[in-house]
Structures are given as structure tokens and as C-alpha cells.
């Protein structure tokens, strides 16, 4: 019997890993065309009853698949590629077991928007607050590609209220902790709730970095919708909060406008209030203020800690979220506007689709093709395209930079695996 | 990195600036080796000192550093730029001394993480100074033809106010990993993974590369040497002694540091043994009640340090949160590897005169504790004890944190014997110090 409750049953997970989980693609991805690279990768698994296992590693795809079927993990994390196989770390001296490479990762969580996300709070997520995530994806995707030149970005839904981005370019994987911090700080424009905020810009409009201007542009395209959906300035408090962010020279005139709003609130919905303030600022030559406000309300809040460490573990794509049952599926950033968290398939749904698939379909190599008759098809095909393009690039790079790559891989004690 | 032609002098420039890629070979007298090590160590200590007292990169900082280093052995030759010509033999000798002393110190300093960090910081600061001196000495021609990027370059690069100004600045294009400092603070235009760095930023890039290279080399050296255990981390603003402390600083330092004076002596000081015995050993024994009137002086508590005995120019005692200016404190916090957010919090505390809370926040940040970890620091020794306990594991925590410093009044013994009275000449027996000592608050901090 299939359940819809929060509990992830081992039997259900077993079926998932056996027939739907894209094991082959995952291994292809994480090998980056090198078996030794895969063998030196750390995995961690959370099993039933909260048993947590770290420093797991697998030499071949068959070992990995076997472990999945055997252990039926409720969560799988991906860690760094080490200087030797993580499971052999005890055989080398202390300093020799080191995290060498890992994808640069970004984690965005809706709970960090609780200051501006007015429709829900904590764990609740609705279609209105998802607009924040859409904006975040557009802003970051542009910055990562245009500013940093990264090309292989895997955007993944984290199952409930957030998204992860795995930046898989070779340059990104080889970044030091220091470099990762630099990238994230470049991308950080807003503090998360609880962090101290720097004072708002004062008199002179400061120069606006092109990246910041581009971010403001992306936000502006969606901001009217956001204001309307969240009713961002609909109450006295929210209006006051908006005004508090204006610099001295604009505030006094704004006060008069506010008086009329509060006198007749229904005649001045949030969007109208926003339009008044933003137009006013721009007309006074203070476009920087308008940009700052856009950023303050809607720029992505980044979890710096997740991105900085080379050895940090992050949940793998295609895990099942234990609370919602939804699959952590990759999505296309170009189509983020049409991505709906509510439409993401759940495990229960997938298993139902499996069992109702025709008998004929089930006879053809079930564990390889079964996904095609379920709602997971699109996500897996997206993932396959991503992995293909990555491998194509890697083949090119390997030819050109054979020396650098080989030196790294051979530095691992494991050496080449058969 | 695209490099422009330099105007250069008529003679071939004698390039002195080193990346220290290749270790030297050959043999040297043991004397020479020792002297070189000492000389470079002194040099690096001077770099550290000036860096603690002034904002790095400021004009005063550069002037002071040039002055101090110029007076030291090795210093003068390191500061000579490639435009200044000396005869070939002398030039090669000076290069060899530079390279040899650097590599020798690498070996000496690669064993613990603290030493490595210290060495990297001072060598990087020294490199930056030498690079800047080279830059100032030799102007480069600006690159033309980036008109399509002009608006972005203008918007992204601080310090350039107009198109006219922009036209006079040379820009270099380098991969963003070469310009991390500029990327981190968003002070540079990025496109497709490349940073467009103005010539003033070039020093930042070169320094970043130098630092990364050195860091990597030290790690390699460390792994090559037999594995030794990590030393417990010591922190006390006054414990990072130079051997040239002014009198008023010394009581606060030597008293309020560690139970084991031997650590100070054997740690990073490489001072002439005789000089040490003559000038400092007596003083240290005096303060521990082994000489002179045999009084037992209790270490100054935080409150006492904060409210009395203000440090002056060149002193190194005091409470850093009270006595450093905001800029200098910010610099030190960054050097300690604390994140921007936490540093900001500490600076605000210090500004609001909440020095002990600032210290507590610093303690938490440096030991990577959560912000609700209970700790209250009332005494520098307590900082040490708590820190040590954390690093040695909780088992010991109860013990060392709770051991109070006992103060007992000891009857004054008759004057010291010959060895002690010989040191009477040194300013340790300064009357003013005695007076100060007698006012020491004898109620030790309670556990």
C-alpha cells in the first residue's frame, strides 16, 4: 500500500532507487570522465532512524547502485573529491587526506526572506512566495554566466522551500576556499535576517557596479508582480519600513505622500505606493535609491557558509524530501517562470504511476526505462542533457589541459581504477 | 596578464623582487645560516610591528616601514628597487641572501599552522611593499582602445570619477581568480570570468598570487617534515612580544601572560642569549617573585587594563578593543580571519565602550562558537585558560578554567645576590615601576 504521509518507507525508497533513480547519470556526472575522480568522492547517507554515515565512497557504478538498494538512504549528500578514496582515509597519514575539488554550490532558502515574505513564514511555501525564488534564479544565473563565465550550472529544487545551484565548470571545482568566499561575497548584496545591515547610502549617489545594476534590472521586471502579490506596502508598518530606507533628502517630501495614503488606504494599494516612491526618487536623480530598494526587497539571500568550504556536503539531486515527499528535481533556469513547486512529482505519485504503467512497458528493461512512463521523465531528460554537455566540454578540456588534470587525479593514492 | 612596455632606464634593470619559486643550492657556513635567519626574522618582526600600529597600505605605513627596514641588516638591500644599479657581484650576493634567508625561514616556520600564518602574512606584506616601491619607481604606459567597455569600467572601478580620468588609467585583464581581493569587494569589472584591473589593482593581484604560492609551498614543506603535534594556540595581545618593549609595557605583559615564562623565551624570539639574560631574565624573575622584594604580583584584570596605564606610541600592552582605533582594530580582526559580519559586530561593541563584550564576541568568532555559547572574560589569563581548554578538549576544561590565580603576600626577602645586583644598572629597577607594582590590585579574579 502506498502512503501519502510524511514517513518515507524503506520499501518505497527501494523501488525508487531500483527503477526510477538515475544512477547511471549521477555517476557519469560525478566522474567528469575520470573513474578515479568518482572513486575519491565523498558521499554521506542518512538512513532510516536518523543513522548518519559519512566518508562513504564507491569505486564503480555497480557499487554505488548496490549501496543505494542496500541502504535505502532517506537522504544522500555529495561532498568533495579527496586526495584518496574517503573510505581508505585511515591508511594515509593525517595531513595527506585532503579535500581537493568540489563543485561551487549555492543554497537559497525562503526562510531567509521572512522579513519581506509576507504571505507565508517558516516552513510554509505557496505559489506567491515562489516568485522570490524565480527572481533569485534569474539574478544569479545571469551573474554566474556573464560575470564569472561559468557555463555548467545545475539548478535543483531542494524539495520544499529552496533551491540549490551546482556550478560544475572545471574552474569552479578547483577554486580554493578563499576564492569561493570571494565569489559569494561579490554576489552578496543583502544581509540575511539576523545579520547586521550596513547604513543606507547617504548624500552622493555612489557609483553603481554594472553587476548590481543588472541585478536591479532583473528584479525590476518582476517587482510589480511581487508588490501586488505580497501586498508589500499595504500596512502602516510596511509603509513606514519603506520610508525608513529613503535617504534624508527624499524623506521629507515622502512624508506628505504617506499622509494621504494613510488617510485613504484603499485608494492607494501597494503597487500605487511603490510607483509613487520609485518615480519620485528617479525624478530627483536618485536612481540609486530605487535600485537599492529593489535589491533590499528581492535580491537573493545567500547562505555563505554552504558555499565556502571545499569539503562541505550538500544534498544530492533526485533525493526525496522527507517532509513533503517531493523529488529534488533539476529545472531549467531559462524556464523558471513556469516552474511550480506544487507540480513537482512526489514519491507516492511516481510509484502510483509506475504501477499503473502498461505491462508491456514494464517488460522492457524496467530499471532503465521505467522513468519514461512517469512524471519524472522531463527532469531526467533535462539532467541527461546537462551531463552530456558537461562531458563534451570535459573531453575538450582534457585534451587541452591533460597535464594539469592528470597530475591532480594521479595525486590520489587510489590511482587509476580498472 | 597583458603587460605594457616599461620606459626603463638605459641599463638592464636588476630585478630583485622574488616569487621564491626555486630553492637555492650550495653550501654555507653555519654562522652565516644562523645570522641570515635571525636577520630575516627581525625584518619580519618589524613588518609585523608596523602593521599592528598602522593601517596597512597607508602612506604613513609605507614610510614607517621603509624607515624601519632600512635600518636593519638585509632590509636595505631588500628595499632597493630594480632601477638602482649596483655592481654585479654585490647584486648577486644580495639576491642570494634574500632567497636563502626566505627559504631557511620557510623550513623553520612550516611546522605549525600559527607559524605558517604569521610567516605568510609578514612575507606577503613585505612583498606588497617591495612591489609598490617598484611600481612607483617605474611608470608604465597606459593601454588604449577599450572604448566599448568604458562605461562599465567607469562604473565598476572605484577611484575614477570621469571619462577623462579613465582614459589615463592602464587596465589589465586577468582571470578573476588572480584578483580575488578586488572581486570580493566588487571593486572591479567582471566579464566572462575575467577581471579588468586598473594598474593600482595590479599590486593586489601580484600579492594574491604570491600569498597563494607561498601558502601552498609551506603546506608542502610541512608535509615533507616529520609530523609534530600542534601547539596550543596562545593569544594575549601582549604575548606577541617583540624583544624591544618599553618599560611601562613590560609588567603588564610578563605578568599577565602564561604560567610558563619559558614559552615566551623559547617561542618566536631569536634573541642573543646574553642580551636576554642581562636585560630581561631578571625582570621576568622579579615579576614572578623570584628576585628583589619577592612580592607576588597578580596579573592585571581586564577592568584594570582598560581603565589604567594607557599605552602610548610604540607600546604594546593594553586592551586591543579599548586602545586600538577602529581602523586598526578592523585590520587586526580581518587578519585574524573573522568574517565581515562578526567583525562588524565586534567593532560596534568596541565603539559603544563594551570592551569586554567585544572580547567575548571575538573569542567566540575565533574559536568558531555559536553566539549563545556562555563565556565571560574578565582577565587575559582567563582568555588563555578558556581557549586552551577548548583546544585541548572538554575533559580538561573544568580543571584549568577553574584554577584561580592565588595571591599570597610573601615577606620581602633580603636583596638579591651578585647575579641580581649586577642587573641593577638596567631600568628594571626603575622606581616608577615599583610604585606601580605596589598599587597592584591584590584581589585576584575569582574562579
Closest chain B C-alpha to A309 CA, distance in angstroms: 14
Orientation of helix B30-53 relative to helix B326-335, angle to 10°: 130
Asked if the C-beta of B189 comes within 8 angstroms of chain A's C-beta atoms, the answer is yes
Question: Which of the residues B112, B148, B189, B190 would you substitute to probe the A interface, choosing the one with the greatest number of A C-beta atoms within 10 Å?
Answer: B190
- Nearest CB partner across the interface for A211, out of B158, B186, B193: B186
Neighbours of B3 (CB within 10 A): 10
- Residues of chain B contacting A183 with CB distance shorter than 8 Å: 176, 183
Architecture per CATH, domain B2-137, reads as Up-down Bundle (1.20)
Q: Which three cell numbers stand for residue B25?
A: 643550492
- Taking an 8 Å cut-off on Cβ atoms, the answer to whether A171 and B177 are in contact is yes
B-facing residues of A in 348-367 (CB < 8 A) are none
Asked if the C-beta of B195 comes within 8 angstroms of chain A's C-beta atoms, the answer is no
- Taking an 8 Å cut-off on Cβ atoms, the answer to whether B156 and A210 are in contact is yes
Give per-residue burial for B382-407: e unless 16+ CB within 10 Å, then b. bbbbbbbbbeeeeeeeeeeeeeebeb
pLDDT tens track for B391-446: 766 544 444 333 344 444 343 333 333 333 333 333 333 344 444 444 444 444 33
CA distances (Å), origin A42, targets A30, A31, A50, A58, A310: 11, 12, 19, 9, 12
Q: Does B339 have pLDDT greater than 90?
A: no
Question: Which of the residues B124, B177, B228 would you substitute to probe the A interface, choosing the one with the greatest number of A C-beta atoms within 10 Å?
Answer: B177
- Residues of chain B contacting A96 with CB distance shorter than 8 Å: 223
Angstrom distance (rounded) from CA B330 to CA B55: 9
* Segments in A51-127 forming alpha helices (H): 61-71
Angstrom distance (rounded) from CA B194 to CA B20: 26
Asked if the C-beta of B112 comes within 8 angstroms of chain A's C-beta atoms, the answer is no
Among A40-54, A298-312, B344-358, which stretch is predicted with the lowest mean pLDDT?
Answer: B344-358
- Taking an 8 Å cut-off on Cβ atoms, the answer to whether A185 and B185 are in contact is yes
Q: Which one has a higher pLDDT value, A309 or B298?
A: A309
- Altogether, the residues listed in chain B come to a count of 447
The pLDDT value recorded for residue B445 is: 34
pLDDT tens track for A130-169: 999 999 999 999 999 999 999 999 999 999 989 999 999 9
The domain spans of chain B are 2-137, 140-206, 233-442
Residue whose grid cell is 575520470? A34
What is the rounded average pLDDT of the residues B18-35?
A: 83
* Segments in B188-339 forming alpha helices (H): 199-224, 249-256, 261-266, 273-276, 282-287, 302-307, 320-323, 326-335
Among A173-187, A305-319, B208-222, B292-306, which stretch is predicted with the lowest mean pLDDT?
Answer: B292-306
The pLDDT value recorded for residue B86 is: 83
Cα Dmax for chain B: 85
Closest chain A C-alpha to B66 CA, distance in angstroms: 30
What is the rounded average pLDDT of the residues A2-28?
A: 83
CA distances (Å), origin A46, targets A67, A108, B379: 12, 22, 44
The pLDDT value recorded for residue B392 is: 66
pLDDT tens track for B210-243: 888 898 888 888 777 654 333 322 222 222 333 3
- Residues of chain B contacting A148 with CB distance shorter than 8 Å: 176, 190, 192-193
For residue A17, the 8-state DSSP code is I
Closest chain A C-alpha to B339 CA, distance in angstroms: 10
- Yes or no: domain A10-189+303-417 corresponds to CATH 3.90.1310.10: no
Q: Which residue of B has its CA nearest to A308?
A: B339
Asked if the C-beta of B73 comes within 8 angstroms of chain A's C-beta atoms, the answer is no
Answer positive or negative: Cα dihedral of B203, B205, B211, B216: negative
Residues of A marked active site are found at: 42, 107, 109
Identify whether the C-beta of residue B151 lies closer than 8 Å to the C-beta of residue B17. Answer: no
How many residue pairs bridge chain A and chain B with CB atoms within 8 Å of each other?
69
pLDDT tens track for B32-64: 888 888 999 999 999 999 999 888 878 889 899
Asked if the C-beta of A210 comes within 8 angstroms of chain B's C-beta atoms, the answer is yes
The pLDDT value recorded for residue A207 is: 81
- Residues of chain A contacting B337 with CB distance shorter than 8 Å: none
Angstrom distance (rounded) from CA A19 to CA A15: 6
- Nearest CB partner across the interface for A186, out of B152, B183, B340: B183
Identify whether the C-beta of residue B318 lies closer than 8 Å to the C-beta of residue B305. Answer: yes
Asked if the C-beta of A304 comes within 8 angstroms of chain B's C-beta atoms, the answer is yes
* Segments in B257-410 forming alpha helices (H): 261-266, 273-276, 282-287, 302-307, 320-323, 326-335, 340-351, 355-366, 380-392, 394-402
Three-state DSSP class for A265?
Answer: helix
The domain spans of chain A are 10-189+303-417, 210-298
ipTM of the complex: 0.85
Q: Does B110 have pLDDT greater than 60?
A: yes
Three-state DSSP class for B101?
Answer: helix
Q: Which one has a higher pLDDT value, B146 or A320?
A: A320
Amino acid at each position: 500500500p502506498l502512503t501519502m504521509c510524511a514517513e518515507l518507507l524503506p520499501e518505497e525508497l527501494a523501488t525508487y532507487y531500483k527503477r526510477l533513480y538515475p544512477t547511471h547519470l549521477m555517476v557519469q556526472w560525478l566522474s567528469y570522465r575520470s573513474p578515479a575522480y568518482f572513486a575519491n568522492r565523498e558521499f554521506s547517507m542518512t538512513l532510516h532512524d536518523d543513522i548518519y554515515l559519512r566518508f562513504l565512497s564507491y569505486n564503480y557504478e555497480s557499487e554505488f547502485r548496490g549501496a543505494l538498494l542496500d541502504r535505502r538512504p532517506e537522504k544522500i549528500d555529495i561532498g568533495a573529491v579527496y586526495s584518496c578514496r574517503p573510505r581508505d582515509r585511515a591508511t594515509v597519514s593525517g595531513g595527506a587526506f585532503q579535500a581537493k575539488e568540489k563543485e561551487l554550490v549555492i543554497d537559497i532558502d525562503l526562510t531567509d526572506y521572512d522579513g519581506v515574505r509576507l504571505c507565508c513564514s517558516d516552513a510554509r511555501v505557496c505559489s506567491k512566495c515562489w516568485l522570490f525564488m524565480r527572481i533569485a534564479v534569474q539574478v544569479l544565473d545571469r551573474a554566474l554566466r556573464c560575470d564569472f563565465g561559468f557555463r555548467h550550472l545545475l539548478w535543483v529544487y531542494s524539495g520544499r522551500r529552496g533551491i540549490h545551484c551546482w556550478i560544475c565548470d572545471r574552474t569552479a571545482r578547483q577554486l580554493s576556499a578563499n576564492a569561493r568566499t570571494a565569489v559569494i561575497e561579490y554576489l552578496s548584496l543583502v544581509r540575511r535576517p539576523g545579520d547586521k545591515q550596513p547604513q543606507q547610502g547617504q548624500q552622493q549617489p555612489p557609483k553603481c557596479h554594472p553587476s548590481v545594476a543588472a541585478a536591479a534590472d532583473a528584479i525590476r521586471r518582476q517587482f510589480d508582480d511581487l508588490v501586488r502579490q505580497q501586498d508589500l506596502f499595504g500596512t502602516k508598518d510596511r509603509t513606514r519600513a519603506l520610508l525608513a530606507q529613503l535617504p534624508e533628502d527624499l524623506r521629507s517630501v515622502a512624508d506628505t505622500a504617506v499622509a494621504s495614503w494613510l488617510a485613504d488606504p484603499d485608494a492607494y494599494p501597494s503597487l500605487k505606493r511603490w510607483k509613487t516612491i520609485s518615480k519620485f526618487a528617479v525624478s530627483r536623480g536618485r536612481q540609486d535609491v530605487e535600485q537599492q530598494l529593489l535589491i533590499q526587497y528581492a535580491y537573493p539571500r545567500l547562505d555563505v557558509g554552504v558555499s565556502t568550504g571545499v569539503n562541505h556536503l550538500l544534498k544530492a539531486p533526485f533525493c526525496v524530501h522527507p517532509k513533503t515527499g517531493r523529488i529534488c528535481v533539476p529545472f531549467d533556469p531559462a524556464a523558471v517562470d513556469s516552474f511550480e513547486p506544487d507540480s513537482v512529482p512526489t514519491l507516492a505519485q511516481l510509484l502510483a504511476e509506475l504501477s499503473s504503467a502498461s505491462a508491456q512497458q514494464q517488460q522492457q528493461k524496467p530499471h532503465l526505462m521505467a522513468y519514461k512512463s512517469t512524471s519524472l521523465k522531463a527532469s531526467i531528460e533535462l539532467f541527461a542533457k546537462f551531463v552530456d554537455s558537461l562531458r563534451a566540454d570535459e573531453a575538450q578540456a582534457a585534451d587541452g589541459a591533460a597535464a594539469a588534470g592528470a597530475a591532480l587525479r594521479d595525486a590520489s593514492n587510489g590511482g587509476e581504477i580498472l | 596578464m597583458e603587460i605594457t612596455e616599461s620606459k626603463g632606464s638605459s641599463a638592464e634593470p636588476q630585478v630583485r623582487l622574488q616569487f621564491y619559486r626555486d630553492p637555492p643550492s650550495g653550501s654555507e657556513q653555519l654562522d652565516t645560516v644562523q645570522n641570515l635567519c635571525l636577520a630575516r626574522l627581525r625584518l619580519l618582526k618589524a613588518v609585523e610591528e608596523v602593521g599592528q600600529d598602522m593601517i596597512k597600505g597607508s602612506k604613513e605605513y609605507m614610510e614607517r616601514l621603509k624607515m624601519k627596514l632600512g635600518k636593519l641588516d638585509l632590509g636595505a638591500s631588500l628595499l632597493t628597487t630594480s632601477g638602482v644599479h649596483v655592481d654585479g657581484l654585490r647584486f648577486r650576493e644580495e639576491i642570494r641572501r634574500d632567497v636563502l634567508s626566505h627559504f631557511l625561514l620557510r623550513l623553520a616556520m612550516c611546522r605549525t599552522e600559527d607559524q605558517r600564518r604569521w610567516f605568510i602574512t609578514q612575507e606577503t606584506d613585505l612583498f606588497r611593499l617591495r612591489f609598490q616601491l617598484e611600481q612607483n619607481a617605474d611608470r608604465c604606459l597606459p593601454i588604449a582602445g577599450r572604448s566599448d567597455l568604458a562605461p562599465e569600467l567607469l562604473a565598476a572601478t572605484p577611484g575614477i570619477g570621469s571619462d577623462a580620468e579613465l582614459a589615463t588609467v592602464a587596465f589589465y585583464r586577468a582571470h578573476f581568480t588572480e584578483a580575488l581581493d578586488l572581486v570580493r569587494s566588487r571593486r572591479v569589472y567582471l566579464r566572462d570570468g575575467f577581471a579588468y584591473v586598473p594598474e593600482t589593482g595590479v599590486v593586489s593581484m601580484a600579492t594574491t598570487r604570491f600569498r597563494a604560492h607561498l601558502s601552498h609551498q609551506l603546506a608542502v614543506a610541512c608535509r615533507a617534515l616529520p609530523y609534530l603535534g600542534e601547539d596550543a594556540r596562545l593569544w594575549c595581545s601582549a604575548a606577541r612580544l617583540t624583544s624591544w618593549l618599553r618599560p611601562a609595557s613590560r609588567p603588564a605583559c610578563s605578568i599577565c601572560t602564561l604560567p610558563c615564562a619559558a614559552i615566551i623565551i623559547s617561542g618566536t624570539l631569536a634573541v642573543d642569549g646574553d642580551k636576554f639574560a642581562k636585560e630581561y631574565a631578571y625582570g621576568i624573575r622579579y615579576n614572578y617573585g623570584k628576585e628583589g622584594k619577592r612580592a607576588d604580583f597578580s596579573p592585571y584584570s581586564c577592568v584594570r587594563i582598560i581603565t589604567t596605564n594607557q599605552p602610548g606610541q610604540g607600546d604594546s600592552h593594553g586592551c586591543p578593543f579599548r586602545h586600538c582605533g577602529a581602523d586598526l582594530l578592523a585590520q587586526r580582526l580581518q587578519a585574524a580571519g573573522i568574517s565581515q559580519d562578526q567583525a562588524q559586530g565586534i567593532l560596534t561593541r568596541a565603539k559603544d565602550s563594551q570592551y569586554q563584550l567585544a572580547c567575548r564576541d571575538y573569542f567566540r568568532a575565533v574559536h568558531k562558537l555559536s553566539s549563545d555559547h556562555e563565556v565571560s572574560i574578565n582577565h587575559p589569563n582567563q582568555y588563555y585558560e578558556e581557549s586552551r581548554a577548548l583546544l585541548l578538549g572538554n575533559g580538561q576544561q573544568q580543571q584549568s578554567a577553574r584554577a584561580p590565580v592565588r595571591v599570597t603576600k610573601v615577606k620581602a626577602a633580603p636583596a638579591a645576590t651578585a647575579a641580581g645586583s649586577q642587573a641593577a644598572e638596567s631600568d628594571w629597577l626603575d622606581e616608577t615601576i615599583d610604585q606601580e607594582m605596589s598599587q597592584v590590585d591584590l584581589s585576584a579574579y575569582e574562579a
